[in-house]
Structure 1
């Protein structure tokens, strides 16, 4: 696997999109301060391939940059000359995307030869391409930060998994599977051969019995084929004759149907007779209608003259209405005259009542004025008596109070101290004052009552006077209106008499109108009588015409039937719908039927004789061939052919099975040899045998080559034991053995680096799949001397098309590596800033 290009967007510290091109680069240094995204670059490669990173695990959304909603990683890489593009995306919300494409060229626009979708399917295809799962990748190709010692400290099984993937030994597993499958197939083939051996013996016996039967069937088929032409001719002649018999029978049946459709003689004669007499009846009906129409015309002329002489029904109706109106107007005038006289009398009586009411009102007003004066005097007397009563009560209380006062006391009325007692006074009689006040109030109430009654009487009289005045005015208006109505009624009566005189002169207009009505009624009666006669004549004509129309329709139907039946009989009759021509055509039609029936009967008899002759000859031929009477030659040949085909197919099947068995039996020795070969391969390729031997050799070779690097980097102090278990041999302590866990951090880094360098060299020598090597940090634990030794070993890895990427923040790395990817950190956001890509 050789990386070509990496694109990161929204991944860890790479917020914006960054692309790193690894083409034509060998030794690459990734430098920058702590937190600048150096390890994230390598994490991007691991995530693109396996969907997880050494530090974060699988598909965690923590890999998404904190300021973005999604992370996108895309890696172009090459495997054995094929170009692949791995694309993975993480989203905070929604599903992730995982796609792997194989392109014709390292270009997204080039043709796609393969596409894998889905996280599991994509990761499985990556593991198949690289030959390494994620853990083996981290132990061999990708030495992540703080995890570079994983291969050194791994178990034997874990190391074997790495070596199998790196050197392609996983193909041995596939070889073992193929060997087992081939072995099982050959075993099944030999088992089938044993089973077939018994079956073939039976097949050979059946084949010996079946061959003679096949020869007999072929001979019988040839015999039937030889007689088939003669039999086919006889069968054809017989079937043709039978067809002619059936055709003649159908024709006879058709002639029977035609006979049933021939018009009956008596009904035809009756129809033709009705057609002949119908013309005379139609002429008589038409003449009767013409006479009735003449009578109606004369009656209408007489009616017109009568209308002119009498003025017509409208004039009579107008005059009659005028007579009625004249009588009504005369009656109305009399009624209105009486009403006017009554209204005049009422108006005069109302005027007298009004005069009397006016006199009474004057008297009532005078009485009201006198009552008002008396009331005023009574009110003044009440006021004077009340004043006298008040003073008498006041004087009486002062005298009573003085009798109880003592000089120096407080006055109960004014709340002042009494200095000197007031002089004593005499009090008039209080009872006398109260009696006078009471009498004055009684006189006032009487005066008030008298004044109220006088005022009410005056108001009533005044109202009566006003009502009578209104009645006088209304009577005058009604009298005037009644006079106008009377005059109008008299004018209308005179106008009606004048108009009636113009319409009906004479002294007795009512009698004259009676005569005119009688004359009009007589003329109308004559018209009605003539109209009835005309309607009866027209109805008679229509009835005759309807009957004649039915006759004509029947004649047309009869003519159509004659023409149709004649055509069915092979004749050509086209009669008109006339009685004479139809009578002649009916006779010719019956003659056509008789001729056709006789001819068809003869044809039927002759066809029956031909069919019987062909049947006799065919029976004789089939008898010679030994066939049953119910079986035709074609059926016999079909059965013989089926039997022959069945036997031939049986013989062919048996022959094929016997030949196949003979072929398998002749090749059985080769099959047994191949079975032994594949069985041996399947046994030898078991993981506990050949693969174990190869892996043991590779571990020893790896330990030996790693020891060379380890001993050189540690100035001859350390190497690995020769047993391939990667135990540390301390040369400074008489080659005492130490576990890897007992080494210091720097020593552990050098040991791991030595094994990684050795593994890379072995892969290069054998043409394995390892075309990339990634080392993340670890240099900080080395002193300058060991750092130089480590870099010399790393530089020795560079060769061919291999990419070696080293990540470190150690400044000395810049001096040893010319091709650098330089990163920095944005002080505001903390995102990665690519200084040099």
Structure 2
């Protein structure tokens, strides 16, 4: 993966649009990013990470505030990155979610996150040729091409500040968390969890199987009715089954004897019951015949009375109908008399005419009333139209008055509108001049505030210059001291070498084994330790010199920038200018504030003109409409009045005349109907009286009253019929009973003892039922014991292999999770991570030995931790000077940086191979070089030269001044109050 071009806009400290050309910077394979603290060096690395994954590394990614606070409101926050990965060149553009001012109104709104991916060459197979625009699709595609997650990328491409120093000194748990993120060992954690969950599940199943065995044993004891022994097993179960079988055989023999005795008693009881029933039937038949003989005379009377009642029914029904018809005739006469009086009151003269004549006269009058119905509706409309004429006259008068009043109002408004427009034009000029003056006021206020800091900046510049001179002098003295010591040491080097000689060992200079005249140390000779101490002091003095030079440059630049901005103006001049601008702004603001009120007044006046004009037009149209409608309506009212006067006759109006005619029609029709009903009722009464005379002759009665006396109601007749039928049926049944063959020889005086036989049968039957219940209980117990014994035996058989399987699974789960027989206390996941860490240690050792000049090597340890904690992720260093393995925490600051850098580079190689072998052509190393001396820095730079010699591009982020001299291609980040900017120097 190689980066080509990065563009940032309104991102982090960059208010404008800045471009980083990695092809230009990486032409030599190595470049440096430097600048003031907080200028935005690390932000460029954040921009690379955000473009690829939509996130930034470390704690900065948790804040989620990526937009530059100094950017203009209309400038969008955006990061664009061009890169080549797996042979495909692409461009990724992302914008984070941020708050921006609303385009209309006040307040802010949320600008949503956006992302796009476009191919700058042929698109990969299976992807859209025109690119992607969805955030999730862009993220998935980038991660698939890069071949690693965001966490892995942050660790192996953007080697972060202090991360690997912390990893080097971390405990096992912290180191494990980082390695898990990098190598994706979650699947091994899933395996551990699968073993734990499976052991838990199988443990529950084993507990259930054991509980089942206990339950079957308890149920066996309960079914047998015995106490559960402590050593209950298969022999105890067999004994229970043998006892149950013996009890069943004994109960079956007792049941057979009891059943035989009960059957014999039942047959004897049945014989006595049959004989007693025959005697009872014979006695009942003789008693029934004696009773019927005593009722013979009464039954004859019942029959005669029933026959007379049936003959009287033919007369009483016809006589009742004649009486009802006589009542109807009387009612019809009363109704006819009432209707005759009503007709006379209505003015009818033909009250004695026939019904057909009355109906004919009513038809004539109804036709006359029908002809008047339409005129009644016209009379009602005539009343409404006269009311409408009055209202139209009033409306015309009111509309005329309103139109005149509106015209008076309209005549005074145009002059007021002209005056308002003149005043508004005057305020528009004030508003246009206001914003430029406010901008000048803000600039002047900022300059005034900055001008008051000039003495402090001048004093700081003088102090920085003095500090620089002192630091330069101190460094020169330290340098001279170091050169002097080195010269003295070189002069005494022969004595130093001679001090190391021993008899028989070859000389490191000439190779001889004899040393006839070894040199001796002169007075004032210098050793290696003293030279190293002085060199360290010289390096510290040089570092203080560089810091002083940088501080003096910053102070001079700040003072020069301020003086350039002030342009020779004093604070008093600036204050006076600010006061003049404030007064002018207040004057113009007061005039500009009136513009809104004038605009509102002008719009109100113009709207009032439109509204009054429309109202006057409506009023004029209303006058014309009312006058036209009133004229037409007056003509219709006059014509209708002539027709209504002719139709009402001598009545007050047409409706009254029509009501009179309808009342006469109703009286005639009611009289005709009553007269017809009375004639029909008289005819029906004559027919009923003739039918009564005929019925008396047929029934043999002389008059109606005699027939009514002999008549029976329905209840009495039914009772007589039922009594006669019951007596006849009882006599026939009694004689039939005595005639049966089984009762021929039975005497009504025979006695039978049934009770003693019933008691004996009940006793024997109870004994038989008890014997059956005992047999059933014994058989059920034997059956239950058999079923429970089989299930108990099956449960015991299933339990043994389950216990053996669980023991094996339990031991294996402990080993996989770093417990039990696992002597190193390493889980499966830790074992895999330990293997990866061992690969990292091997890859990092090659570079660490080079950078430490062969002194240090990484040593991986898989020993268990203290107090039984998990092991496998130990990482120590082997010191070749002492031959001892010691913790990485004992390394000095510079040594820790070397070890961390070597570890980071080794980890990058291993992770790249683990994630699919994606070649990482571009690496970034963020800070840490300030802890190295000049000689070690040379060694580190040689290692970085090896990286770029292999085709990689390495970007360094550092404050170290010496790196600026060593690395020709540099990207400088300048920080100012209006946002950071970038510049490339070569």
Shorter-chain TM-score range: 0.3 to 0.5
Q: TM-score under structure 1 normalisation?
A: 0.37
* TM-score normalized by the length of structure 2: 0.33
